[in-house]
């Protein structure tokens, strides 16, 4: 009797995990969204676009088939727009495979708080997908991705992964965004995407990032600013610098970033707050325009000039956002951690950034000409 009961329990335990799996029939009745685009019309209605795949699986075949479809819904809220899509769809919409959340420039400027609440509260929406702000006409984006016949969410996900060590790329998923937006400064970043013309075709590309404060877009980071930000935040594993050729100021030398790290310290000195960053960046010679013999003297000239330029640009970068009252480097959070009892009034205006830059350049003793 005991063996019989044990056998029944074993069968039940083996069956239970299979209950959550889709069978062929269920798969054929589901449409999977790969990306969600949030936009607004002239009447403040929310427009939601779902770049989706409607799969087809045949139990008698080993191959998978699928049809790409674009679904659109409008409502006073994003949730109402999604429900309107569900009402007009013959298949159930599943959001478990979403790889990208995309906000139009207008939505980002007006605020994404309600959209973030929806993403956080919806059981199928994940926290791992990356977040983007798109600059341009949504119709152009949809036409481009349709012409490419590539799912937008999967494309953007792979694009970020392939460039995750690129210092000019801002990489933020939902979890990063929510965590940073709840800090003292309420500053979060998202990736910026645009369409780039390549001959007769357009291509979606990453182009810097956007700064969100209290869930509203307050500024856009160009690629050079994104690189500066990533260096100061110790997030650089790749990228390039362009410097003048010491033998010919009209020619350039490209330095490839191999690695970077920095040490930060924040100190209260009287009425001032001093944010000190010691930056160590390892570089290699990537390309040389013109003629240059890579002697130790030449490397030292490049090193000194670029260290001065980088230090100057970083401190100007911080000062620019300080004047805009944007806590781009999270000074308030650093103060809260080290000096929790300090008066938080006008912390940012009292802060001075001091950087010490050390470039380590791998060189060669060969004379190299550009082609």
What is the residue range of 297's domain? 233-371
Judgement on whether residues 26 and 84 belong to the same structural domain of the protein: yes
The percentage of the chain sitting over the pLDDT mark of 70, rounded to a whole number, equals 85
Average of per-residue pLDDT values in the chain: 85
Domain boundary among 221, 242, 263: 221
More confident residue, 271 or 20: 271
pLDDT tier at 22, thresholds 50, 70, 90: low
Give the tens place of pLDDT for each residue, 86-103.
Answer: 888 778 899 999 999 999
Judgement on whether residues 190 and 266 belong to the same structural domain of the protein: no
Domain boundary among 221, 244, 263: 221
Q: Is residue 227 part of a domain?
A: no
Q: What is the pLDDT of residue 69?
A: 87
Strands (E), the chain: 30-40, 46-57, 64-75, 92-94, 100-104, 130-134, 187-198, 201-213, 216-221, 240-245, 248-269, 272-288, 291-293, 351-362, 367-369
Give the tens place of pLDDT for each residue, 336-358.
Answer: 999 999 888 889 999 999 999 99
Q: What is the pLDDT of residue 25?
A: 47
More confident residue, 371 or 298: 298
Judgement on whether residues 202 and 244 belong to the same structural domain of the protein: no
pLDDT at residue 16 greater than cutoff 60:
no
**CA gap 230, 260 in Å, rounded:** 10
pLDDT at residue 6 greater than cutoff 50:
no
Q: Please give the average per-residue pLDDT across 219-225, as a whole number.
A: 93
**CA gap 173, 99 in Å, rounded:** 10
Count other C-beta atoms under 10 Å from residue 181's C-beta.
18
Return the structure tokens found at 344. 């938080």
What is the CB-side half-sphere exposure of residue 353 using CA atoms within 13 A?
25
pLDDT at residue 146 greater than cutoff 80:
no
Q: What is the pLDDT of residue 194?
A: 95
Return the structure tokens found at 235. 């997030």
Q: Is residue 17 part of a domain?
A: no
Q: What is the pLDDT of residue 249?
A: 82
Q: Is residue 360 part of a domain?
A: yes
Residue 343's domain is classified under what CATH number? 3.30.300.210
Q: What total number of domains does the chain contain?
A: 2
Nearest 5°: phi and psi at 111?
120, 140
Q: What is the pLDDT of residue 12?
A: 46
What is the CB-side half-sphere exposure of residue 362 using CA atoms within 13 A?
9
pLDDT at residue 147 greater than cutoff 70:
no
pLDDT tier at 182, thresholds 50, 70, 90: confident
In terms of DSSP bridges, do strands 291-293 and 367-369 run parallel, antiparallel, or are they unpaired?
Answer: antiparallel
More confident residue, 192 or 60: 192
Q: What angle do CA 276, 277, 278 make, to 5 degrees?
A: 125
Q: What is the pLDDT of residue 295?
A: 83
Judgement on whether residues 169 and 255 belong to the same structural domain of the protein: no
pLDDT tier at 9, thresholds 50, 70, 90: very low
**CA gap 103, 118 in Å, rounded:** 14
* pTM, to two decimals: 0.85
Burial-class residue 305 by CB neighbours within 10 Å (0-12, 13-18, 19+): middle
CA 41 to chain CA centroid, Å, is 26
More confident residue, 1 or 117: 117
Q: Which of 103, 34, 28 is nearest to 70 (CA)?
A: 34
**CA gap 369, 245 in Å, rounded:** 12
Count other C-beta atoms under 10 Å from residue 244's C-beta.
17
Nearest 5°: phi and psi at 81?
-65, -40
**CA gap 221, 204 in Å, rounded:** 17
pLDDT tier at 85, thresholds 50, 70, 90: very high
Kindly list the distances between the CA atom of residue 328 and the CA atoms of 135, 156, 296, 352, 360, in Å, as whole numbers in the listed order.
Answer: 22, 25, 37, 13, 27
Judgement on whether residues 287 and 336 belong to the same structural domain of the protein: yes
More confident residue, 19 or 305: 305
DSSP secondary structure of 247-276:
TEEEEEEEEEEEEEEEEEEEEEETTEEEEE
Judgement on whether residues 344 and 371 belong to the same structural domain of the protein: yes
Return the structure tokens found at 363. 């060189």
Sheet holding 240-245, edge to edge: 240-245, 248-269, 272-288, 351-362
Q: Please give the average per-residue pLDDT across 153-175, as a whole number.
A: 91
Q: What is the pLDDT of residue 202?
A: 83
Q: What is the pLDDT of residue 365?
A: 43
Judgement on whether residues 215 and 310 belong to the same structural domain of the protein: no
Q: Which of 224, 216, 223, 183 is nearest to 330 (CA)?
A: 183
Give the tens place of pLDDT for each residue, 231-281.
Answer: 999 988 888 888 888 888 889 999 999 888 889 999 999 889 999 999 999
Q: Please give the average per-residue pLDDT across 215-237, as a whole number.
A: 93
Domain boundary among 221, 242, 275: 221
């Amino acid at each position: 009797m005991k063996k019989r009961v044990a056998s029944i329990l074993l069968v039940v335990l083996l069956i239970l995990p299979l209950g959550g799996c889709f069978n062929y029939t269920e798969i054929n009745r589901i449409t999977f969204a790969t990306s969600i685009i949030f936009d607004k019309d002239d009447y403040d209605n929310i427009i939601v676009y779902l770049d989706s795949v409607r799969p087809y699986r045949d139990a008698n075949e080993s191959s998978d088939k699928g049809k790409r479809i674009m679904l659109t819904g409008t409502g006073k809220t994003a949730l109402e727009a999604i429900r309107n899509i569900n009402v007009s769809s013959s298949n159930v919409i599943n959001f478990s495979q979403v790889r990208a959340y995309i906000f139009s420039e207008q939505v980002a400027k007006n605020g994404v708080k309600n959209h973030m609440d929806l993403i956080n509260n919806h059981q199928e929406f994940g926290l791992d997908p990356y977040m983007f702000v798109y600059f341009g006409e949504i119709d152009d984006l949809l036409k481009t991705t349709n012409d490419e016949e590539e799912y937008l969410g999967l494309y953007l996900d792979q694009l970020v992964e392939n460039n995750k060590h690129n210092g000019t790329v801002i990489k933020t998923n939902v979890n990063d965004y929510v965590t940073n937006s709840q800090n003292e400064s309420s500053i979060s970043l998202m990736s910026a995407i645009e369409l780039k013309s390549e001959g007769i075709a357009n291509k979606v590309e990453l182009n810097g990032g956007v700064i969100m404060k209290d869930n509203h877009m307050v500024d856009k980071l160009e690629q050079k600013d994104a690189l500066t930000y990533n260096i100061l935040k110790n997030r650089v594993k790749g990228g390039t610098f362009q410097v003048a050729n010491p033998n010919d100021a009209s020619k350039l030398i490209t330095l490839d970033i191999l690695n970077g790290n920095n040490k930060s310290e924040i100190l209260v000195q009287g009425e001032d707050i001093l944010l000190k960053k010691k930056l160590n960046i390892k570089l290699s010679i990537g390309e040389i325009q013109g003629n240059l013999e890579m002697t130790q003297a030449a490397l030292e000239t490049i090193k000194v000039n670029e260290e001065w330029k980088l230090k100057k640009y970083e401190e100007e970068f911080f000062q620019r956002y300080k004047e805009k009252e944007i806590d781009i480097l999270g000074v308030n959070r650093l103060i809260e951690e080290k000096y929790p009892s300090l008066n938080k009034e006008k912390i940012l205006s009292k802060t001075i950034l001091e950087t010490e830059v050390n470039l380590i350049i791998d060189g060669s003793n060969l004379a190299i000409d550009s082609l």
